[in-house]
Amino acid sequence: MTQATVNDFNHIITGRRSIRNYDPSVKIRREEMEEILSEATLAPSSVNLQPWRFVVIDSEEGKETLKPLAMFNQTQVETSAAMVAVFVDMNSTEYLETIYNQAVDEGKMPAEVRDRQVPAIQGLIEQLTEEQYREMNVIDAGLVSMQFMLAARAHGYDTNPIGGFEKDKIAEALDLDKERYHPIMLLSIGKAAEDGYESVRLPVDTVTEWK
């Protein structure tokens, strides 16, 4: 990794701020949003199930639907280029064979490995409780959400992760099956209209032990 690459990465990490007020004139083309989402989905995923699902809310109608569900985040909803609702699909195993078949077709995995792993993964998932399975999926959703924010930053956009919204109502409001799709967070994205506050972090020696 070159020093220039390290510097670029450090700028993405250290320059990220949680933005609450965006320039409402800034829009993001669907093609670019798809690129950001595609980069986000390169995040790690347990047994590569990729349970994350997104709803991109960038229309006025969509934002009006979202407003009453995010009462304490009205400014982000109103001014952002888009709000991205992140869900996990509790039926994500439906895509298991599709994912592993694609890996074989693209030469990224031998067929015999797929033939061993797919039934093994199916057996593993069947042994998990619903709570264990949801916890596994939530970790993946957290990883993809962070990667989305970093990808957005690399594209020149700002973001804010939002956990305070009506989680029990949002799936149905967005025409999703609430038994299948569990909400994780909202991510606002756009161009900052004002600088976000720089925050502080506990030092590494406070949060780390060496054994």
- Write out pLDDT tens, residues 96-153: 999 999 999 999 999 999 999 999 999 999 999 999 999 999 999 999 999 999 999 9
DSSP letter string, 39-87:
HHTTS--GGG---EEEEEE-SHHHHHHHGGG-GGGHHHHHHSSEEEEEE
Q: Residue 1: pLDDT above 70?
A: no
Question: Would you state the pLDDT for residue 196?
Answer: 73
Would you kindly state where each structural domain of the chain is located, as residue ranges?
12-194
Q: What superfamily does domain 12-194 belong to in CATH?
A: NADH Oxidase (3.40.109.10)
The C-alpha atoms of residue 143 and residue 104 are separated, in whole angstroms, by 25
Global confidence as pTM: 0.91
